[in-house]
Structure 1
Amino acid sequence: MVSRSEAAHHPGVTTGILAGLGAGALWGLSFVAPRMLGGFAALDVTAGRFITYGIVALAMMGWGLRTRALPTGRQALAALGLSVLGFTGYYLLLVLAIRDMGVALPALIIGTIPIWVMVLGKPQGLRWVALLPGLVLTVAGLVLMADLHGGDAAAGQAPAAHFGRGLAFAAGALVSWTLFALLNAAWLRRHPEVRAGDWANWLGVATGLGGLLLWLAVGTPAARLAATPGVGWFVLLSFAIGFGSSWLATLLWNTASQRLSASLCGQLIVSETLFAILYAFLWDAQWPTAAQWAAVVLFTLGIMASIKAHR
Structure 2
Amino acid sequence: MFIGILCALCAGLMWGLVFVTPLLLADYPGVVLSLGRYVAFGLIALVPAFFDRKRIASLSREDWKVAFKLSLVGNLLYYAMLATAIQLADAPLPTMLIGTLPIVISVCANWRPGHVSESVAWSRLAPSLVILCMGLMLVNSSELEHLRSNVDNTRSTSDYMLGCLVALCAVAAWTWYPIVNSRYLRAHPRINSITWATAQGLATLPMALVGFILYGIYSHVAGNSYDFPLGPRPTVYILMMLLIGLSASWIGTLLWNKASQLLPTALVAQLIVFETLAALLYAFLLRGMAPDMKILAGVAFLCVGVVFGVRTFSRQAPVSPPL
TM-score, length basis structure 1: 0.82
Q: 1:71 to 1:101 in 2, by over 3 A?
A: same
Deviation sequence 1:149-193 (CA, Å, 0-9, x none): 554259987554322222222221111111111112222233233
Looking at structure 2, the residues matched to 283 and 99 of structure 1 have their Cα atoms a distance apart, in angstroms, of 16
User: Structure 1 residues 181-190 or 272-281, which shifts more?
Assistant: 181-190
Is 2:132 the partner of 1:138?
Answer: yes
Looking at structure 2, the residues matched to 154 and 211 of structure 1 have their Cα atoms a distance apart, in angstroms, of 36
Is 2:219 the partner of 1:216?
Answer: no
Q: 1:254 to 1:142 in 2, by over 3 A?
A: closer
Looking at structure 1, the residues matched to 181 and 265 of structure 2 have their Cα atoms a distance apart, in angstroms, of 14
Give 1:99's aligned residue.
87
Deviation at 1:105? Answer: 3.7
Give 1:237's aligned residue.
240
Give 1:183's aligned residue.
180
Give 2:256's aligned residue.
253
User: What are the within-5 Å matches in structure 2 for residues 257-268 of structure 1?
Assistant: 257=260, 265-266=268-269, 268=271
Q: 1:85 to 1:167 in 2, by over 3 A?
A: same
Deviation sequence 1:35-63 (CA, Å, 0-9, x none): 11011111111111011111111232123
User: What are the within-5 Å matches in structure 2 for residues 11-26 of structure 1?
Assistant: 13=2, 16-26=4-14
Looking at structure 2, the residues matched to 37 and 304 of structure 1 have their Cα atoms a distance apart, in angstroms, of 36
Q: 1:150 to 1:261 in 2, by over 3 A?
A: closer
Equivalent position amino acid for 1:248 in 2: I
Is 2:65 the partner of 1:77?
Answer: yes
Aligned length: 299
Deviation at 1:277? Answer: 0.7
Looking at structure 2, the residues matched to 134 and 155 of structure 1 have their Cα atoms a distance apart, in angstroms, of 32
Deviation at 1:204? Answer: 0.9
Deviation at 1:111? Answer: 3.1
Q: Aligned to 1:193, which of 169, 190, 195? A: 190
Q: Aligned to 1:294, which of 285, 292, 297? A: 297
Q: 1:308 to 1:164 in 2, by over 3 A?
A: farther
Give 1:118's aligned residue.
106
Looking at structure 1, the residues matched to 228 and 174 of structure 2 have their Cα atoms a distance apart, in angstroms, of 29
Structure 1 residues not aligned, in runs of 5+: 1-9
Deviation sequence 1:223-259 (CA, Å, 0-9, x none): 9235733211000000000011101112233344456
Equivalent position amino acid for 1:56 in 2: I
SS in 2 for 1:53: helix
Deviation at 1:306? Answer: 4.2
Deviation sequence 1:122-164 (CA, Å, 0-9, x none): 2575222233333333333444455445542599875543222
Deviation at 1:203? Answer: 0.8
Asked whether the 8 Å contact 1:105–1:142 carries over to 2, the reply is: no
Equivalent position amino acid for 1:207 in 2: T
Deviation at 1:115? Answer: 2.6
Give 1:272's aligned residue.
275
User: Structure 1 residues 282-291 or 230-239, which shifts more?
Assistant: 282-291
Give 2:223's aligned residue.
none
Equivalent position amino acid for 2:91 in 1: V
Looking at structure 2, the residues matched to 257 and 186 of structure 1 have their Cα atoms a distance apart, in angstroms, of 8
User: Structure 1 residues 111-120 or 152-161, which shifts more?
Assistant: 152-161
Equivalent position amino acid for 2:9 in 1: L
Asked whether the 8 Å contact 1:114–1:303 carries over to 2, the reply is: no
SS in 1 for 2:227: helix
Q: CA-atom RMSD, angstroms?
A: 3.1
Deviation at 1:16? Answer: 4.9
Give 1:168's aligned residue.
165
User: Structure 1 residues 228-237 or 143-152, which shifts more?
Assistant: 143-152
User: Structure 1 residues 153-162 or 65-74, which shifts more?
Assistant: 153-162
Identical aligned pairs, as a percentage?
Answer: 32
Looking at structure 2, the residues matched to 216 and 295 of structure 1 have their Cα atoms a distance apart, in angstroms, of 43
Looking at structure 2, the residues matched to 294 and 121 of structure 1 have their Cα atoms a distance apart, in angstroms, of 28
Asked whether the 8 Å contact 1:57–1:247 carries over to 2, the reply is: yes
Asked whether the 8 Å contact 1:112–1:303 carries over to 2, the reply is: no
Asked whether the 8 Å contact 1:103–1:156 carries over to 2, the reply is: no
SS in 2 for 1:243: helix
Deviation at 1:84? Answer: 1.5
